[in-house]
């Protein structure tokens, strides 16, 4: 089990990106959360096996139709085994 943060930049707020990410994470078998950041980016914490995380990243790079994704940064997340287990599904979290 691995965990990473995906920071998505571009025109990604106000276009349904978080709800797109929630749906795509569930389809990829990824757990965690997604939220809007104050700097205009969207951030997701994703937990899953490497192939599922890569599939989720590819979906984030595409984004919903109204979005214009400029880039997706991947940052490894250092989570304890308790933190890894605490995420049961994938949710839209409150904005930063």
**Catalytic, out of 18, 31, 57, 59:** 18
**Crossing angle of helices 17-28/50-62, nearest 10°?**
150
Torsion of CA 53, 54, 60, 61, to 10 degrees: 160
Residue keyed to tokens 């990243």? 57
Catalytic status, residue 36? yes
**Catalytic, out of 31, 36, 57, 59:** 36
Which residues are catalytic, by number? 18, 36
């Amino acid at each position: 089990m691995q965990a990473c943060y995906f920071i998505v930049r571009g025109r990604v707020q106000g276009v349904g990106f978080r709800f797109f990410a929630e749906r795509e994470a569930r389809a990829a078998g990824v757990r965690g959360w997604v939220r809007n950041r104050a700097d205009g980016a969207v951030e997701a914490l994703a937990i899953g096996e490497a192939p599922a995380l890569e599939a989720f990243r590819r979906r984030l790079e595409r984004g919903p139709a109204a979005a214009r994704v400029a880039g997706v940064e991947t940052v490894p997340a250092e989570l304890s085994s308790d933190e890894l287990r605490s995420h049961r599904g994938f949710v839209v979290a409150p904005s930063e």
